[in-house]
Amino acid sequence: DQQVKQNSPSLSVQEGRISILNCDYTNSMFDYFLWYKKYPAEGPTFLISISSIKDKNEDGRFTVFLNKSAKHLSLHIVPSQPGDSAVYFCAAGSEFGNEKLTFGTGTRLTIIP
């Protein structure tokens, strides 16, 4: 039962353009969402998060959008840089449930110079 889904296993974007990574979830109990970036042979690094009471959160080149009615969130990276090439994981959790995060399967982003 995949409660958090990242349907695009890979994405290639030209340097300088916008990268848009998508994530869908099925569990209505999730009330906060996070994006992590992961390089090979390293642990995930936190990028940005959003609470369910918001629909947008911005931090520098990274913006996360949340559409609760559609149970969909997206991460926008603009402008994309070569160092952004990595695997991006969407994760979700619930303040009132378990303390665990539920992760998607990841999207491998490749920035083309």
Partner 1 sequence: NAGVMQNPRHLVRRRGQEARLRCSPMKGHSHVYWYRQLPEEGLKFMVYLQKENIIDESGMPKERFSAEFPKEGPSILRIQQVVRGDSAAYFCASSPARQGATEAFFGQGTRLTVV
Site of interaction with partner 1 (CB under 8 A): 4, 6, 32, 34, 36, 41-46, 49, 89, 91, 93-95, 98-106
**CB 80 to partner 1: min, Å:** 22
Per-residue CA distances from 108 to 6, 37, 44, 48, 85 (Å): 10, 10, 13, 17, 8
User: Based on CB atoms, which residue is closest to partner 1, 8 or 14?
Assistant: 8
User: Based on CB atoms, which residue is closest to partner 1, 5 or 79?
Assistant: 5
User: Based on CB atoms, which residue is closest to partner 1, 6 or 85?
Assistant: 6
Retrieve residue 76's tokens: 């926008």
- What DSSP designation does 82 have? G
Are the C-beta atoms of 35 and 64 separated by less than 8 Å?
Answer: yes
**CB 21 to partner 1: min, Å:** 14
Rounded Cα–Cα distance for residues 72 and 6 (Å): 10
**CB 38 to partner 1: min, Å:** 9
